[in-house]
Amino acid sequence: MGNITEHEVKDIRGLLQSDELYNYVLETSVYPRESEPLKELRNITDVHPEAWMGTAPDAGQFIAMLLKLLDAKKTIEIGVFTGYSLLLTALTIPEDGKITAIDLNRESFEIGLPIIKKAKVDHKIDFIESKALSALDQLLNDKENEGSFDYAFVDADKGNYGNYHERLMKLLKVGGVVIYDNTLWGGTVAMSEEEVPEIYKSNRKPILGFNKLLAADPRVQLSHVPLGDGITICRRVY
Ligand code: SAM
Ligand code: CA
């Protein structure tokens, strides 16, 4: 994506009726409960030219709830950036929990790493610098990984979401959950082609196609939640 204006960032981050309502949720329920390491990571990410890529804290709060309800231990993170969702997961899963974290670029991860280390959760993270598709195929080469993961969070290149889904359906255990991020794509999924701002255009069609694919997939129970930029929660049912 190219340069993004402040107005457009707000569009990405909140899908509620107004910015005021979104800020109300953040100020009332999310920020007062956000842990110090996560706040610190969010703040250092704020000065990054691609800060808009960080997971929305309201979605993060919900994900932490889900991780606890699932009692997730063995997890996958596709798309790390500076590590907001990664740190959130690392702080939430138990001491013996593990995260296989995949990103093709280690540079952004290095920005968040000192905070992750300070929070003493780096031992839970196995960072793999790679294209996610080949890393997932590598995981699948080991039969022991099949049906062994409790949870996955997918937040990388939108055009590959369908490919990641196929692999995750093998890696997740039955009852395991995968969350796909940005599935409402700034609200553009419900716009006519002419209305869509330029910066959203390239990924809109992949997201539209992926949403349809998920809705028709009998292997998952599904919930499409308008938090952050839209997240789709899929529970593997067989
Ligand atoms: N979840 C992150 C957070 O909370 O800050 C944000 C992830 S950011 C939206 C997307 C990340 O996906 C980028 O760091 C980018 O390098 C990575 N990425 C893009 N294409 C990828 C691919 N094919 N394989 C692995 N990572 C990829
Ligand atoms: Ca995202």
CATH number for position 167? 3.40.50.150
Q: What is the 3-class SS of 161-179, one letter each residue?
A: HHHHHHHHHHHEEEEEEEE
Substitution candidate for ligand 1 out of 58, 155, 178 with most atoms within 8 A of CB: 155
pLDDT of residue 10: 46
Residues flanking ligand 1, CB < 6 Å: 53-55, 79-82, 84-85, 102-105, 108, 131-132, 155-157, 160
Q: Which ligand is nearest to the CA of 156?
A: 1
Tens place of pLDDT for every residue, the chain, 238 residues?
Answer: 334 454 454 444 567 778 888 999 999 999 999 999 999 999 999 999 999 999 999 999 999 999 999 999 999 999 999 999 999 999 999 999 999 999 999 999 999 999 999 999 999 999 999 999 999 999 999 999 999 999 999 999 999 999 999 999 999 999 999 999 999 999 999 999 999 999 999 999 999 999 999 999 999 999 999 998 999 999 999 9
Domain-embedded: residue 126: yes
Residue 207's domain comprises 6-236
Strand duo 149-154 + 74-78: pairing:
parallel
Q: Which atom of ligand 1 is nearest to the CA of 131?
A: 24
Domain-embedded: residue 115: yes
* 179 strand-pairing partners: 153, 233
Residue for token digits 């981050």? 13
Tell me the DSSP string of 82-116. Answer: T-HHHHHHHHHS-TT-EEEEEES-HHHHHHHHHHH
> Structure tokens of 90?
């690392």
pLDDT of residue 16: 76
Q: How far is the CA of 235 from the centre of ligand 1 (A)?
A: 22
Substitution candidate for ligand 1 out of 34, 50, 53, 183 with most atoms within 8 A of CB: 53
The pTM of the full predicted model, rounded to 2 decimals, is: 0.94
pLDDT of residue 236: 98
Q: How far is the CA of 103 from the centre of ligand 1 (A)?
A: 6
pLDDT of residue 19: 86
Domain-embedded: residue 180: yes
Q: Which ligand is nearest to the CA of 228?
A: 2
Q: How far is the CA of 175 from the centre of ligand 1 (A)?
A: 25
Q: How far is the CA of 185 from the centre of ligand 2 (A)?
A: 9
Task: Output the CA–CA distances (angstroms, integers) from residue 13 to 92, 112, 114, in the order listed.
Answer: 23, 21, 26
Q: Which atom of ligand 1 is nearest to the CA of 88?
A: 4
Q: Which atom of ligand 1 is nearest to the CA of 45?
A: 5
pLDDT of residue 6: 45
Domain-embedded: residue 188: yes
> Structure tokens of 85?
């969702």
Query: Which 8-state DSSP code applies to residue 144?
Result: G
Sheet hosting strand 220-225, strand order edge to edge: 125-129, 98-103, 74-78, 149-154, 172-181, 231-236, 220-225
From CA 196, how far away is CA 203, in angstroms rounded?
11
Domain-embedded: residue 197: yes
* 234 strand-pairing partners: 178, 222
Q: Which ligand is nearest to the CA of 130?
A: 1
pLDDT of residue 188: 94
Domains in the chain, number:
1
Q: How far is the CA of 197 from the centre of ligand 2 (A)?
A: 18
pLDDT of residue 15: 72
Q: Which ligand is nearest to the CA of 186?
A: 2
Domain-embedded: residue 23: yes
Domain-embedded: residue 1: no
Domain-embedded: residue 231: yes
ipTM topping 0.85? yes
Residue nearest to atom 26 of ligand 1 (CA): 103
